[in-house]
Amino acid sequence: MAVDACLVALAYYLAYVLRFDEGIPPRYDTLLIDTVGLVVVIKLALFAAFGLYSKLWRFVDQADFESIVKAVAVASFALIGLSFVFSPGDVDPPRGVIALDFLLTLALVAGARFAVRALVERQLRRPLVARATTEVLIVGAGNGGQQVAVELRRNPELSTAVIGFVDDDPRKQGMLVAGHRVHGTTADLDRVLDDTKPDEVVIAIPSAPGTLRQKVVTACRARNIPVRTLPTTFELLSRGPNLLRQVREVQVEDVLGREPVRVEIDRVGAYLAGQVVLVTGAGGSIGSELCRQIARVKPKRLVLVDHAENNLFEIRRELEDDRHFGNLVAVLADCKDATRMGELFAEQRPAVVFHAAAYKHVGLMEENPVEAVRNNAVATRIVAGAAGENGVERFVLVSTDKAVAPATVMGASKALAEWAIEAAQNRYHRTRYAAVRFGNVLGSSGSVVPIFRRQIADGGPVTVTDPEMTRYFMTIPEAVQLIIRSGDLATGSQVFVLEMGEPVKIIDLARNMIRLSGKEPEVDIAIEVVGRRPGEKIHEELFDPGERPLPTPAERIVAAVRPRLDPDWVEGAFARIEELVYNGDAAALAGAVAELSAERALDAVPTDDPSLAEG
């Protein structure tokens, strides 16, 4: 404020000096002396009101310049009124003085601040050039790339210097952006990398398609240059505002070759706001992400149900401590316990239920068929029944593509779970039941990606069951967003299928992951074909032969229209299955499940559900 006081007084004095070439006339000299103190006080008060003293000068930016212009303009209008009021006799301030005072005040006040910033940044750049041990090339000269460049310049302790940009905008070619030159487009990436020889490349385009990421990764890996990338908008919102720390290694989901699903969770999940929402399997891969995203739309209460103590503890701690969401209840309970589920639903009275609790490891379920069916099918029937008896409005089952033409016990148990949902709809008409079916989820426990990562870290070999095997892939946040969206679409007894793009060859996925680790497949890391496990398919499908896809109002979600099952047949099937489960007869159970899957088409009533067409 002291510096501004001197600058304002100097600007006011210079305005008079510059206005009168032959010297200031006595009557105006008197006006200057009588009003300069009041002008300084009034201007400083207005500057404070506009927030000019709430920020260090070294961090001044465009928004501060706009505030300075507004403050100086208002101060000039105030000067006009004050000068007329306090002017001695009939002496009025010349209009030229007022105009010059505005321009000089603006130049001095703004110039002083930007001069301090330029001086500080210049001092930071000198040691940065001397100490920089890493030179970075940034792909993308937009807002993200410019912020990365600014952060690196402001943090010399990182010892990292930007050597330029690569951007596909033709208007930026050869231009300086944030003080650094744009060396070319991504089509010129090979040349740019050879010319600049960066130590690292940062992809600063969060929405970059997989094809662009793959192009950058391929070019950099050929030169042993590590690649990092800015996260998506969803990841930024989830992890915090520090942009530089959000830069992460390129992950395999970045190069799968399809556009990520983006859903405005605040809009599509609005039906959950103010409601009691219950999530089973809340500590699992899908369940925990459901809890994170549901918490964002501010439900009245979020009920977390899981029978694994550690998983339940971790998700509750994350929601309360990291995400500051306190309207939750953690319930340690087993969905296979009908009495406990009845008590829980009666006590919590949820309006919406997401049933994500399930066993999913195919090989392990083949060895434990009784537990697979008990947990995936019988427990679903129990939870769905408790929901219907307690007036739940919506019930969403998290299913899998392995329920389509099931060839394993795990797949058959999830098919039975879908039948249980349809049977519950026949009994409880007030509840809108739906199932959501999708393929492999990247990063979930037991999925192929963490297995490959572990094998690569151990030096290989990376094991693939069959060179022709393909699978559909989706990230956990993508799947959960579409599950929540499906809950809003549910009108009763529907199976929603998430469009997952083109299937990916597992052996190609293995090769890409090896290259992402900086190694070469079959040179540094071997790929070993170990043969298919019992019941494992070469290609997974998303629709049964008797189903047909029907579009829904939601992007990337279709309804599987299928003949309605005979309710009596479903009830008889579950009576048979439950008897074998409770008797623990694994051999008979496996045979019965296979037999029921074969009978399904014969016992189905060949009529389409009109509600599906509307959905």
CB atoms within 10 A of CB 295: 21
Cis peptide before 461 (omega within 30 of 0): yes
CB atoms within 10 A of CB 248: 13
- Residues with Cβ within 8 Å of 25's Cβ and at least 6 positions away in sequence, in order, are none
Catalytic machinery residues: 402
Torsional class of 224: left (φ above 0), alpha (ψ -120 to 50), beta (otherwise): left
Query: Where are any strands of DSSP class E within 321-410?
Result: 328-332, 352-355, 394-398
DSSP H helical ranges for 443-505: 448-457, 476-489
Rg (CA), the chain: 33
Q: Give CA–CA dist 280/290, Å, rounded.
A: 10
Supply the DSSP string of 197-258, one letter for each residue: --SEEEE--TT--HHHHHHHHHHHHTTT--EEEPPPHHHHHHH-S-HHHH-EE--GGGGSSS
The tally of CA atoms less than 13 A away on the side-chain side of residue 43 is 32
Residue keyed to tokens 């999530």 = 279
Residue of 285, 248, 323 lying closest to 474 (CA atoms): 285
Helices and strands (H and E) in the chain: how many: 23, 24
H-helix or E-strand spanning residue 604: strand 604-605
CB of 256 within 8 A of CB of 210? Answer: yes
CB of 351 within 8 A of CB of 303? Answer: no
User: What DSSP state is assigned to residue 186?
Assistant: G
Residue of 499, 500, 491 lying closest to 609 (CA atoms): 491
H-helix or E-strand spanning residue 44: helix 26-49
Residue keyed to tokens 């937009």 = 142
Residue of 26, 28, 10 lying closest to 95 (CA atoms): 28
Q: Give CA–CA dist 128/269, Å, rounded.
A: 47
User: What DSSP state is assigned to residue 270?
Assistant: G
Please state whether beta strands 504-505 and 470-471 pair in parallel, antiparallel, or not at all (unpaired): antiparallel
CB atoms within 10 A of CB 125: 15
CB of 373 within 8 A of CB of 379? Answer: no
Q: Give CA–CA dist 499/254, Å, rounded.
A: 18
CB of 39 within 8 A of CB of 31? Answer: no
Burial string for 559-595 (b: 16+ CB within 10 Å, else e) reads bbbbbbbbeebbeebbebbeebbeeeebeebbebbee
Give me 224's structure tokens. 């042993």
